[in-house]
Structures are given as C-alpha cells and as structure tokens.
Amino acid sequence: MSTQASGSCLRILSGVQPSGKLHLGNYFGAIRQHIELQRQGECFYFIADLHALTTIQNANELQANVRDVALDYLALGLDPQRTVFFRQSDVPEVTELAWIFATVTGMGLLERAHSYKDKVARGLPASVGLFFYPILMAADILIYRSHLVPVGQDQIQHIEITRDIAGYFNHTYGEIFPLPEYRLSEAPIVPGLDGKKMSKSYGNTIEIFATGQELRKKVMSIVTDSTPLDAPKDPEKCNVYKLYCLLATPEEQQELAAKYRAGGFGYGQAKQMLYEKLEGYFAQARQRRQELAREPGLVDEILRRGAQRAREEARATMALVRRAVGLNPPP
C-alpha cells in the first residue's frame, strides 16, 4: 500500500477468469476479500474473458461462463453501486497497452513465469497467448493505475511481473504507473478434495453454489487417512477439518478439534458436519443468486455501466501513454 500517491484514493483491482464454476478456493482465496475490500477503497473488478480465451474456445460456453461469474459475484455481495464491475473485453484499450508493454519487456521475464510452465505441463497448448498472459495481466492492472491487487498465492508472481513491467515502462518513458502491491487473503491456499490446492484443473473442487446431493457427494469424497474410528486423530492433518475451519467460528473449530483428539469420532461424522456448515454458509447467497438470475437484462446492464466507467479511466491512461511513447491520439 506504500506506493499509493498521497491524497489519492486507494485503487483496488482484481480479475477472475470465467473458465468454469467458482469453487471454495476461489471464494476463500480471492472473492471473499474482494467483497470485503469494497469498503476500503475504489474497487475495479472484472471478468477476464480475454484471458479465458487461452482455455475456452467455444463462444457459447464463454458467454454462459461470463454470465455465471457475474451472477456469482453479485450474489456473494459485490455491490455495483460501489464497485466498478465489468467485462475485460469491453475495454479494448487494455490490449493496446499490452502490446506497448510487450515492446519494453524482455523474453527472459516471461520465460521465468511458473504459471505458463505449469499450464503447459498440465497439457494446455503452448499458445503465444498463454505465454503472453502475464503482459495482458500487467495491462489490466496498470491501465487503471491500481495500487492494490487482492489475489490468491498462485498470482503473486504475476504481480511481481507487473511491477517489473511498470518499472521498465517508467524507466523508458517517464513515471506514469504506480507499482502495485498484492494482498493475500487469510486462506491463501485452500485444499481440494485430494489435499492438493483446490483447482478446476485438478478436478478436486467443491463449487460455491453446489447444494443437496451434489454437495454431499463431493464432501463425502474428501480424501482422509485410514486411522480407525476409535483412535485419536490429528485435526491439523485432515482436509475435512481444514475446510471446516474456513467456515466455522473459533469455538466451533476448537470443539471439532477436541472430538478428533478424543477418538471414537470418525471422518464420516466430520464430513457430515462440514456438509451441513456449507449448506448454511452459502444459503443466503444461493437464494439471492436465484432471484438475480430471474431479472432479465440485469447482468448486461451492470456490466455495461461498469465498462463505461472503466473505459473512461483506461482512455485517460492511454492518452498519457500514447503521448509518452510518441503515438498520436486516436482520430
């Protein structure tokens, strides 16, 4: 936060890819802090549909996912009166800035990016777009001259790359961009069903809006060890307990930990408790989502207004950038 220009409002920005149903990792790692931060600064949150093109190449699927993510965020507490909420692709200036950044960025910086290597190792095609991804992300952040970027742990390197790119640009053309900082949530790595980081690409997720049998089945499939029912268990080593702690009060956490340690308490019982907690925790949001989904045109209207506001900012930045690099204003 130290890079914030004195007197200016704290500009907070984050993006989420519309690449599938949002899960507990997304919620506790990112979305919850996005919602909380709405009271602490001027927030810009967007749906990163241009980034999603690196994985989704089906127009209908992309459209449906964008709408789903928008409804999810609104249902979980995003307030469009307070926060600028928009689609990344509705601000085309961001791709122009990405190109300009590409011309001041060395190949080595991108070659060191873990996310590219991980994604290719997991079987995603090694497209130029996937390699270029961090530059587009830098443009997303810097075009709104953001100070703070709330993300999960896996995005830290992208913010570091963004700071490097801002530095290269400022050094070459003069100080235009503040160096943004990341902010991690209290749950930077939420474990999935198998204990690895919860992620769509590992197929180990529990969706935020899952309910009933679907939710129960997921919870019951959480991997636990083979300690017999009667034996005492170590709560800290159990994924069910770790997930329960995200939802429960400190007293409830202590109570469950004591049951584990006492023995005679099985993982099945802990799973049932986690299932019930999840049903209750997101009940209101689920209800709200159903209501929002029934209002025709609501999502489009909110995203349209958000894009208008975001675009004003983007254009103002691009006017400075074009002048600095020697390009004319667009006719």
Q: Could you give the residue numbers annotated as active site?
A: 119, 197, 200
Binding residue for ligand TRP (CB under 6 A) from 33, 155, 199, 239?
A: 155
Return the sign of the alpha-carbon dihedral for residues 145, 148, 154, 159. positive
Q: Which is nearer to ligand ADP, 116 or 169 (CB)?
A: 116
Does residue 149 belong to the site contacting ligand TRP (CB under 6 A)?
yes
Six token digits for residue 327: 């390009």
Name the residue among 285, 291, 262, 259 with its Cα closest to residue 272: 259
- Note the residues at the interface with ligand ADP (CB under 6 A): 16-17, 19, 25-26, 29-30, 151-152, 154-155, 188-190, 197-201
Least distance from C-beta 141 to ligand TRP, angstroms? 5
Q: What six digits make up the tokens of 24?
A: 């507990």
Q: Which does 189 bind (CB under 5 to 8 A by kind): ligand ADP, ligand TRP, none?
A: ligand ADP
> Residue 127 in contact with residue 57, Cβ under 8 Å?
no
Min dist. Cβ of residue 30 to ligand TRP (A): 7
Euclidean distance between the first and the last CA atom of the chain, given in angstroms as a whole number: 37
Binding mask 114-143 for ligand TRP (x = CB under 6 A): -----------------------x--xx--
Residue 70 CA to residue 67 CA, distance in Å, equals 5
- Which of ligand TRP, ligand ADP, none sits in contact with 120, Cβ below 5 to 8 A by type? none
Q: Which residue lies nearer to ligand ADP by CB, 96 or 194?
A: 194
Q: Taking a C-beta distance cutoff of 8 angstroms, is the pair 206, 278 a contact?
A: yes
Q: Measured from the CB atom, is 17 or 65 closer to ligand TRP?
A: 17
Residues 13-52 that bind ligand TRP (CB under 6 A): 13-17, 48, 51
Q: What is the DSSP letter of 186?
A: S
Beta strands 42-47; 11-16: pairing state: parallel
Q: How far is the CB of 153 from ligand ADP (least distance, A)?
A: 6
The entry of ligand TRP, ligand ADP, none that residue 253 binds, CB within 5 to 8 Å by partner kind: none
Cβ atoms of 224 and 238 within 8 Å: the answer is: yes
Pick one of ligand ADP, ligand TRP, none as the site partner of residue 29 (Cβ within 5 to 8 A by kind).
ligand ADP
Give the number of other Cβ atoms within 10 Å of residue 254's Cβ. Answer: 12
Q: Which is nearer to ligand TRP, 46 or 265 (CB)?
A: 46
Question: How big is the CA angle at 23 (ends 280 and 46), to the nearest 5 degrees?
Answer: 115
Answer whether 185's CB lies under 8 Å from 33's CB: yes
- Burial category of 217 from C-beta neighbours within 10 Å (exposed 0-12, middle 13-18, buried 19 and up): exposed
User: What b/e sequence results for 130-142 when a residue is b if at least 16 CB atoms lie within 10 Å of its CB, and e otherwise?
Assistant: bbbbbbbbbbbbb
CB closer to ligand ADP out of 14 and 317:
14
Nearest-approach distance from CB 205 to ligand ADP, in angstroms:
7
Residue with smaller CB distance to ligand ADP, 18 or 235? 18
CB of 56 to ligand TRP, least distance (A): 13
Residue 165 is a binding residue for ligand TRP (CB under 6 A): no
Site for ligand TRP, residues 82 to 111, rule: CB under 6 A: none
Binding footprint of ligand TRP on the chain (CB under 6 A) = 13-17, 48, 51, 137, 140-141, 149, 151, 155, 158
